Amino acid sequence: MILQHACLGMGEVLCLTPVFRALRRKGTRFIALECKNHEGARELLWGNPNVDAVGPIGAFRGECVNVEDPQWDYEQAHRQNVSKSRPRIFLDHLRLQGDPVPEVWIKPQSRAWAKSVMADFDPSRPKLFYQTEAAEPYKLSSARTMLRVTDDLIARGYSVVSVTLSPSPLRSAAEHTLARVGLGIHDAMALFAECAVAVVYDSFYAQLGAALGKPCVGLLGMYDCPGRAVDYPYYLRLPPTIKGGCGCVPCWRNSLIPCERYKGPQAFAQSRCLDEIDCGALSKLLDRALSLGAGETSNGHRESE
C-alpha cells in the first residue's frame, strides 16, 4: 500500500507511524510513503521496520491512499471542537484499529554523541529541552518571551537545551544553557531524548515526545484545538493566559490570519497568547511532568537504541 501526502512536515511523518504499524499488523506486505519532503521523511523513518520505502509523489506503483485531505477536512469541519488527535484521525481514515502513539528510532552514533555533550552539564540539575524554532512562527513565543522563560527556568534549577537551524534566541554562552545550531534530525532527537523533560509548541517535538515517552509541557495558543495530543502519555497542556482576557477566541490561527491582539507585520508572525507565558504555572506543570516518569510509551514500545 502507498500512502500519499503532498506537503508532509516532520510532525505529520511521526503522526503516520501508528498507521504504518497498524497496516503491518494487518498483514500488509509492502508499505511505502510518497511525499514532497521525501528526503527528510526517509531520514526520520530510519530504522522503522514498518516502512519499506519512501520517495517522491508517483515513485511507486500499487494501491494508493491520500492521507492529507481527511485530516484537513476533519479539522476544518470541527474547528475548535476537534476532539481527536492527528494520529487517531489518520487511523480512522483507513479504518484501522491501533495505538495512536508515534514511534521513532534514533541512530546509535547520535545517541552516543548526545550523551557525551550532556555529560558537561551539572548532574544535580534536571536537563530541560526548550523548543525555540518551528516551521510556523506564529506557533512560537517571541524571542523576548523565550529569554524570560529561560531565565526563570535556570533560576528554578534547570539546565536548558535548545536546537535550531538559525541562531538561537537563547544565550548559548549563559551558564546552564546549551543552544545548538544546524544539527541533523537524529542528533537533535538524541539531545531531546537525553533531557528529563521538554517544553514544546504544537510541532514535531510534541510528536517526538510521545514517541519517546518523554514528559512534555505543551505551550498551545488560543488557535489550537483541544484534540491536540490527547492520546499522548506524559503530555500536559499549559493553557494560555492573557491579562484582561482574550477577545479573539476562537481564532484558528495560521500564517494568513493575523493575531487580533497584535498590529502590523508582527500580527502574522506572532501570537499574543504565546507571549504572556505564566512562568509560575509552567513550573508547576513541569514538576507534575517530572513526576510522571518516562522512557516507555503507552503501547509498551521503547524507542530504539
d(CA 40, CA 42): 5
Would you state the pLDDT for residue 201?
87
Task: Answer whether CATH 3.40.190.10 is correct for domain 108-291.
Answer: no
Would you state the pLDDT for residue 89?
86
What secondary structure, in 3-state letters, does 121-135 show? CCCCCCEEEECCCCC
Would you state the pLDDT for residue 255?
73
Positions of the chain with pLDDT under 70: 71-82, 165-169, 171-174, 222-226, 240-252, 293-305
Neighbour-count burial of 156, counting CB atoms closer than 10 A to its CB (0-12 exposed, 13-18 middle, 19+ buried):
middle
Q: Where in the chain are the domains?
A: 2-93, 108-291
Would you state the pLDDT for residue 171?
63
Would you state the pLDDT for residue 296?
40
Q: Which three cell numbers stand for residue 210?
A: 510521545
Sheet holding 2-5: strands in order across? Answer: 53-55, 32-35, 2-5, 64-66
Would you state the pLDDT for residue 228?
74
pTM value is 0.87
